[in-house]
Amino acid sequence: MSAYSKDVIRELVEGTLPWPQTRRIMSAYKDDDRFDKYISVLQDRVAWDDPILLPVGDRLFICDGGEGRVTRCECGHSFGDYRENWKLKAVINVRNTEASLREIYPNSDLPDPDWMEIREFFCPACAHLHEVEAAAPGYPIVHDFQPDLEGFYRDWLGKPLGKPGKETA
Partner 1 sequence: MENPIVIGIDAGGTMTDTILVDKHGHFKIGKAATTPKDEAEGFLASSLDAAEAWGISLESLFSGVDVVLYSGTGMLNTLLSRTGRRLGLITTKGMEDMILMGRGLQAWADYSYADRLHAVTHAHPDPLVPRRRTHGVTERIDHFGDVVLPLYDADVVTAARALIRDKVDAICIMTIFSHVNPVHEKRIAEICRQEIDRAGAEIAVYTSHEVRPVIREQSRLNSVLIEAYATSRGRRQLRGIEDASKKYGFKYGVQTLLSFGGLTSINHPRLHETMISGPIGGILGAAYIGKLIGNDSLICSDMGGTSFDMGVISRGQTRIENEPLMDRFKLNVPTLHLDTIGAGAGMILKVDPLTRKISLGPESAGSDPGPICFDRGGTEPTIADCDAILGRLNPDYFLGGKVKLQVEKARAAFKAKCADVLGVGVEEAAEGMIEMLEADANNALRRVISGQGIHPSEFTLLSYGGSGPLHLAGCARGIGFKDIITFQFAAGFSAFGCTTADYMRRHSVSTQIDIAARASDDALAAAGSQITGVWQDLERAAVDEMLADGHAREKIRTVPFFMARYTGQLEDVEVIAPLPAVNSADDMRTVLARFEEVYAKANHRVSKYGEAGFSLMELGVIATADKIKPTLVRRPLGTANPASAHKGVREAYIGGRWHRANLYEMDLLEPGHEVAGPAIIEHPATTLVVHPDDRVFIDEWTLLHYIHA
Which residues of this chain interact with partner 1, rule CB under 8 A?
A: 1, 19, 23, 26-27, 29
Min separation Cβ 12 and partner 1, Å: 14
For residue 73, give the 3-state DSSP assignment: strand
**Contact between 63 and 72 (Cβ < 8 Å):** yes
**Residues 37, 5: Cα–Cα separation, whole Å:** 8
Identity at 85, one-letter amino acid code: N
Which residues are registered as beta bridge partners of 132? 120
CA dihedral 75, 78, 83, 86 (to 10 degrees): -70
Q: How far is the CB of 4 from partner 1 (least distance, A)?
A: 15
> For partner 1, which is the closer residue by CB, 33 or 67?
33
Q: How many other C-beta atoms can be found within 10 angstroms of the C-beta atom of residue 113?
A: 17
Nearer to partner 1, 29 or 145 (CB): 29
Rounded least distance, CB 31 to partner 1, Å: 12
Give the nearer residue to partner 1 in terms of CB position, either 19 or 145.
19
The C-alpha atoms of residue 9 and residue 34 are separated, in whole angstroms, by: 8
Minimum CB distance to partner 1 smaller for 18 or for 138: 18
Shortest gap between Cβ of 94 and partner 1 (angstroms)?
Answer: 32
